[in-house]
Structure 1
Protein backbone atom coordinates (compact mmCIF):
# COMPACT_ATOMS: atom_id res chain seq x y z
CA UNK A 1 0.00 0.00 0.00
CA UNK A 2 2.79 2.42 0.89
CA UNK A 3 4.57 1.79 -2.42
CA UNK A 4 1.55 2.77 -4.51
CA UNK A 5 1.13 6.07 -2.63
CA UNK A 6 4.82 6.93 -2.63
CA UNK A 7 4.99 7.19 -6.42
CA UNK A 8 2.45 10.04 -6.20
CA UNK A 9 3.74 11.56 -2.98
CA UNK A 10 7.22 12.56 -4.16
CA UNK A 11 6.11 14.39 -7.35
CA UNK A 12 3.34 16.11 -5.39
CA UNK A 13 5.80 17.19 -2.70
CA UNK A 14 8.21 18.58 -5.30
CA UNK A 15 5.40 20.50 -7.00
CA UNK A 16 4.22 21.98 -3.69
CA UNK A 17 7.75 23.06 -2.78
CA UNK A 18 8.28 24.68 -6.18
CA UNK A 19 5.00 26.56 -5.94
CA UNK A 20 5.73 27.68 -2.38
CA UNK A 21 9.20 28.91 -3.36
CA UNK A 22 7.84 30.80 -6.35
CA UNK A 23 5.18 32.55 -4.25
CA UNK A 24 7.71 33.62 -1.64
CA UNK A 25 10.11 34.82 -4.35
CA UNK A 26 7.44 36.99 -5.96
CA UNK A 27 6.41 38.55 -2.62
CA UNK A 28 9.97 39.57 -1.70
CA UNK A 29 10.44 43.32 -2.36
CA UNK A 30 14.21 42.78 -2.60
CA UNK A 31 13.74 40.41 -5.54
CA UNK A 32 15.90 41.82 -8.36
CA UNK A 33 13.54 40.52 -11.08
CA UNK A 34 11.81 43.50 -12.68
CA UNK A 35 8.23 42.86 -13.73
CA UNK A 36 7.73 46.18 -15.51
CA UNK A 37 7.05 49.79 -14.65
CA UNK A 38 4.04 51.92 -13.82
CA UNK A 39 4.18 54.30 -16.81
CA UNK A 40 3.35 57.94 -16.07
CA UNK A 41 3.50 61.26 -17.87
CA UNK A 42 5.24 64.40 -16.60
CA UNK A 43 2.04 65.45 -14.77
CA UNK A 44 1.91 62.19 -12.75
CA UNK A 45 -1.01 60.77 -14.73
CA UNK A 46 -0.92 56.98 -14.79
CA UNK A 47 -0.70 55.72 -18.40
CA UNK A 48 -0.06 52.01 -17.81
CA UNK A 49 -0.08 50.32 -14.41
CA UNK A 50 2.15 47.68 -12.86
CA UNK A 51 0.31 46.52 -9.73
CA UNK A 52 3.58 45.28 -8.20
CA UNK A 53 5.02 48.82 -8.13
CA UNK A 54 4.60 51.52 -5.53
CA UNK A 55 2.48 49.81 -2.87
CA UNK A 56 0.64 50.85 -0.78
CA UNK A 57 -0.73 53.49 -3.12
CA UNK A 58 -2.02 56.79 -1.79
CA UNK A 59 -5.77 57.05 -1.41
CA UNK A 60 -6.66 55.30 1.83
CA UNK A 61 -5.45 56.42 5.26
CA UNK A 62 -2.15 54.72 6.05
CA UNK A 63 1.07 55.58 7.91
CA UNK A 64 2.85 55.63 4.54
CA UNK A 65 1.78 55.58 0.90
CA UNK A 66 3.45 56.16 -2.46
CA UNK A 67 2.50 57.25 -5.96
CA UNK A 68 4.13 55.99 -9.13
CA UNK A 69 7.25 57.96 -10.08
CA UNK A 70 6.79 60.48 -12.86
CA UNK A 71 7.63 60.76 -15.67
CA UNK A 72 8.31 57.09 -16.23
CA UNK A 73 10.01 56.09 -18.54
CA UNK A 74 12.25 59.13 -18.20
CA UNK A 75 15.14 60.82 -19.99
CA UNK A 76 16.45 63.48 -17.62
CA UNK A 77 14.79 63.33 -14.18
CA UNK A 78 11.93 61.73 -12.33
CA UNK A 79 9.98 62.61 -9.19
CA UNK A 80 9.18 60.21 -6.36
CA UNK A 81 6.06 61.22 -4.43
CA UNK A 82 4.94 59.80 -1.08
CA UNK A 83 2.94 60.77 2.01
CA UNK A 84 3.48 60.18 5.73
CA UNK A 85 0.72 60.30 8.35
CA UNK A 86 3.29 60.99 11.10
CA UNK A 87 6.91 62.03 11.32
CA UNK A 88 9.34 59.16 10.79
CA UNK A 89 12.73 58.22 9.34
CA UNK A 90 12.66 57.76 5.55
CA UNK A 91 15.31 56.19 3.35
CA UNK A 92 15.18 56.14 -0.45
CA UNK A 93 17.77 54.05 -2.29
CA UNK A 94 18.15 53.35 -6.03
CA UNK A 95 19.32 49.90 -7.18
CA UNK A 96 20.76 49.12 -10.62
CA UNK A 97 19.34 46.40 -12.89
CA UNK A 98 21.99 44.10 -11.34
CA UNK A 99 20.61 44.95 -7.86
CA UNK A 100 23.55 47.10 -6.70
CA UNK A 101 22.97 50.33 -4.77
CA UNK A 102 23.81 53.19 -7.15
CA UNK A 103 22.30 56.14 -5.30
CA UNK A 104 20.97 57.08 -1.88
CA UNK A 105 18.50 59.91 -2.44
CA UNK A 106 17.30 60.38 1.11
CA UNK A 107 18.17 59.15 4.59
CA UNK A 108 16.60 61.43 7.20
CA UNK A 109 13.54 61.98 9.38
CA UNK A 110 10.63 63.80 7.74
CA UNK A 111 7.54 65.49 9.11
CA UNK A 112 3.99 64.31 8.35
CA UNK A 113 2.56 65.32 4.98
CA UNK A 114 3.29 64.83 1.29
CA UNK A 115 6.85 64.80 0.01
CA UNK A 116 8.48 64.77 -3.41
CA UNK A 117 12.08 63.75 -4.06
CA UNK A 118 13.60 64.39 -7.50
CA UNK A 119 16.16 62.02 -9.02
CA UNK A 120 18.49 63.35 -11.74
CA UNK A 121 19.28 59.81 -12.98
CA UNK A 122 22.83 60.01 -11.63
CA UNK A 123 24.69 57.70 -9.28
CA UNK A 124 26.28 58.78 -5.99
CA UNK A 125 29.45 59.82 -7.92
CA UNK A 126 27.40 62.24 -10.07
CA UNK A 127 27.65 60.16 -13.26
CA UNK A 128 24.65 59.70 -15.55
CA UNK A 129 23.35 56.16 -15.42
CA UNK A 130 22.78 54.13 -18.61
CA UNK A 131 19.41 53.03 -19.95
CA UNK A 132 17.69 50.30 -17.98
CA UNK A 133 15.12 49.63 -15.30
CA UNK A 134 16.17 50.76 -11.84
CA UNK A 135 14.43 49.78 -8.62
CA UNK A 136 13.61 52.43 -6.02
CA UNK A 137 13.31 51.22 -2.42
CA UNK A 138 11.52 53.46 0.05
CA UNK A 139 11.74 52.54 3.71
CA UNK A 140 9.30 54.47 5.90
CA UNK A 141 7.97 52.18 8.60
CA UNK A 142 7.52 49.57 5.85
CA UNK A 143 9.60 48.73 2.80
CA UNK A 144 8.10 49.40 -0.61
CA UNK A 145 9.53 49.59 -4.09
CA UNK A 146 8.85 50.73 -7.60
CA UNK A 147 10.70 50.62 -10.90
CA UNK A 148 11.91 53.52 -13.02
CA UNK A 149 13.00 53.08 -16.61
CA UNK A 150 15.76 55.30 -17.98
CA UNK A 151 15.23 55.56 -21.73
CA UNK A 152 17.27 58.18 -23.57
Structure 2
Protein backbone atom coordinates (compact mmCIF):
# COMPACT_ATOMS: atom_id res chain seq x y z
CA UNK A 1 0.00 0.00 0.00
CA UNK A 2 2.05 2.87 -1.25
CA UNK A 3 -0.70 5.42 -1.65
CA UNK A 4 -1.05 8.37 0.71
CA UNK A 5 -2.82 7.54 3.93
CA UNK A 6 -6.14 9.20 4.71
CA UNK A 7 -5.57 11.47 7.73
CA UNK A 8 -9.28 11.89 8.54
CA UNK A 9 -9.85 8.14 8.75
CA UNK A 10 -6.65 7.66 10.74
CA UNK A 11 -7.79 10.37 13.17
CA UNK A 12 -11.27 8.85 13.41
CA UNK A 13 -9.67 5.51 14.19
CA UNK A 14 -7.59 7.07 16.95
CA UNK A 15 -10.69 8.72 18.39
CA UNK A 16 -12.55 5.40 18.38
CA UNK A 17 -9.71 3.62 20.15
CA UNK A 18 -9.40 6.42 22.74
CA UNK A 19 -13.15 6.33 23.37
CA UNK A 20 -12.98 2.54 23.76
CA UNK A 21 -10.15 2.97 26.25
CA UNK A 22 -12.19 5.49 28.24
CA UNK A 23 -15.09 3.03 28.35
CA UNK A 24 -12.79 0.26 29.55
CA UNK A 25 -11.52 2.68 32.21
CA UNK A 26 -15.06 2.87 33.55
CA UNK A 27 -15.08 -0.89 34.02
CA UNK A 28 -11.64 -0.97 35.64
CA UNK A 29 -12.00 2.10 37.86
CA UNK A 30 -15.68 1.69 38.67
CA UNK A 31 -18.48 3.94 39.76
CA UNK A 32 -16.42 7.11 40.08
CA UNK A 33 -15.50 6.93 36.40
CA UNK A 34 -19.12 6.33 35.39
CA UNK A 35 -19.98 9.48 37.35
CA UNK A 36 -17.11 11.54 35.91
CA UNK A 37 -18.11 10.62 32.36
CA UNK A 38 -21.76 11.42 33.13
CA UNK A 39 -23.21 7.96 32.57
CA UNK A 40 -25.77 8.52 35.28
CA UNK A 41 -26.14 7.69 38.93
CA UNK A 42 -28.03 4.48 38.19
CA UNK A 43 -25.09 3.07 36.19
CA UNK A 44 -22.66 4.18 38.90
CA UNK A 45 -24.72 2.52 41.64
CA UNK A 46 -25.06 -0.69 39.66
CA UNK A 47 -21.28 -0.70 39.20
CA UNK A 48 -20.83 -0.19 42.95
CA UNK A 49 -23.13 -3.13 43.60
CA UNK A 50 -21.09 -5.31 41.28
CA UNK A 51 -23.98 -5.90 38.88
CA UNK A 52 -23.14 -7.18 35.40
CA UNK A 53 -25.28 -4.67 33.45
CA UNK A 54 -22.87 -1.68 33.44
CA UNK A 55 -19.96 -3.92 32.50
CA UNK A 56 -21.88 -5.60 29.66
CA UNK A 57 -23.13 -2.31 28.22
CA UNK A 58 -19.73 -0.67 28.52
CA UNK A 59 -17.89 -3.66 27.02
CA UNK A 60 -20.33 -3.73 24.09
CA UNK A 61 -19.72 -0.05 23.38
CA UNK A 62 -15.94 -0.48 23.71
CA UNK A 63 -15.95 -3.49 21.37
CA UNK A 64 -18.02 -1.63 18.76
CA UNK A 65 -15.64 1.32 18.93
CA UNK A 66 -12.64 -0.98 18.43
CA UNK A 67 -14.26 -2.60 15.39
CA UNK A 68 -15.11 0.82 13.98
CA UNK A 69 -11.56 2.03 14.56
CA UNK A 70 -10.26 -1.01 12.72
CA UNK A 71 -12.53 -0.33 9.74
CA UNK A 72 -11.30 3.27 9.69
CA UNK A 73 -7.72 2.00 9.47
CA UNK A 74 -8.74 -0.34 6.64
CA UNK A 75 -10.42 2.51 4.79
CA UNK A 76 -7.36 4.70 5.28
CA UNK A 77 -5.12 2.05 3.77
CA UNK A 78 -3.12 1.53 6.97
CA UNK A 79 -4.16 -2.13 7.18
CA UNK A 80 -5.48 -4.39 4.45
CA UNK A 81 -9.02 -3.92 3.20
CA UNK A 82 -11.75 -5.63 5.16
CA UNK A 83 -14.94 -6.99 3.60
CA UNK A 84 -17.58 -4.32 2.93
CA UNK A 85 -15.29 -1.52 4.13
CA UNK A 86 -17.00 1.18 2.07
CA UNK A 87 -20.52 0.25 3.19
CA UNK A 88 -19.49 -0.17 6.80
CA UNK A 89 -17.76 3.23 6.85
CA UNK A 90 -21.01 4.78 5.64
CA UNK A 91 -22.94 3.01 8.41
CA UNK A 92 -20.41 4.06 11.06
CA UNK A 93 -20.56 7.67 9.84
CA UNK A 94 -24.35 7.56 9.97
CA UNK A 95 -24.40 6.13 13.50
CA UNK A 96 -22.08 8.82 14.84
CA UNK A 97 -23.93 11.66 13.12
CA UNK A 98 -27.34 10.28 14.11
CA UNK A 99 -26.20 9.93 17.73
CA UNK A 100 -24.85 13.49 17.66
CA UNK A 101 -28.09 14.96 16.36
CA UNK A 102 -30.65 12.82 18.17
CA UNK A 103 -29.67 13.50 21.77
CA UNK A 104 -32.79 15.59 22.48
CA UNK A 105 -34.94 12.56 21.65
CA UNK A 106 -32.66 10.21 23.63
CA UNK A 107 -32.49 12.32 26.79
CA UNK A 108 -35.89 11.24 28.21
CA UNK A 109 -34.90 7.57 27.87
CA UNK A 110 -31.83 8.15 30.06
CA UNK A 111 -32.95 10.67 32.70
CA UNK A 112 -29.95 10.04 34.96
CA UNK A 113 -27.47 11.27 32.36
CA UNK A 114 -26.46 14.87 32.90
CA UNK A 115 -26.94 17.62 30.35
CA UNK A 116 -23.16 18.00 30.36
CA UNK A 117 -22.86 14.35 29.35
CA UNK A 118 -25.30 14.82 26.46
CA UNK A 119 -23.65 17.98 25.16
CA UNK A 120 -20.08 16.72 25.41
CA UNK A 121 -20.77 13.21 24.12
CA UNK A 122 -22.89 14.57 21.26
CA UNK A 123 -20.14 17.02 20.34
CA UNK A 124 -17.60 14.21 20.36
CA UNK A 125 -19.88 12.08 18.17
CA UNK A 126 -20.33 14.99 15.76
CA UNK A 127 -16.56 15.46 15.57
CA UNK A 128 -15.81 11.76 15.02
CA UNK A 129 -18.71 11.38 12.60
CA UNK A 130 -17.43 14.34 10.59
CA UNK A 131 -13.96 12.79 10.44
CA UNK A 132 -15.48 9.56 9.19
CA UNK A 133 -17.61 11.46 6.65
CA UNK A 134 -14.72 13.49 5.23
CA UNK A 135 -12.38 10.51 5.23
CA UNK A 136 -14.90 8.20 3.58
CA UNK A 137 -15.66 10.81 0.92
CA UNK A 138 -11.94 11.15 0.18
CA UNK A 139 -11.60 7.39 -0.23
CA UNK A 140 -14.90 6.78 -2.03
CA UNK A 141 -13.50 6.00 -5.46
CA UNK A 142 -10.55 4.04 -4.06
CA UNK A 143 -12.90 1.95 -1.94
CA UNK A 144 -15.16 1.34 -4.96
CA UNK A 145 -12.18 0.05 -6.97
CA UNK A 146 -11.20 -2.26 -4.12
CA UNK A 147 -14.60 -3.98 -4.46
CA UNK A 148 -13.88 -5.03 -8.04
Whether TM-score is above 0.5 comes out as no
User: Whose strand proportion is higher, 1 or 2?
Assistant: 1
TM superposition score normalised by structure 1: 0.24
Q: Looking at both structures, which has the greater relative contact order when contacts are Cα pairs under 8 Å and sequence separation is at least 6?
A: 2
Q: Work out which of the two has the higher radius of gyration on C-alpha atoms and give 1 or 2.
A: 1
User: Whose helix proportion is higher, 1 or 2?
Assistant: 2
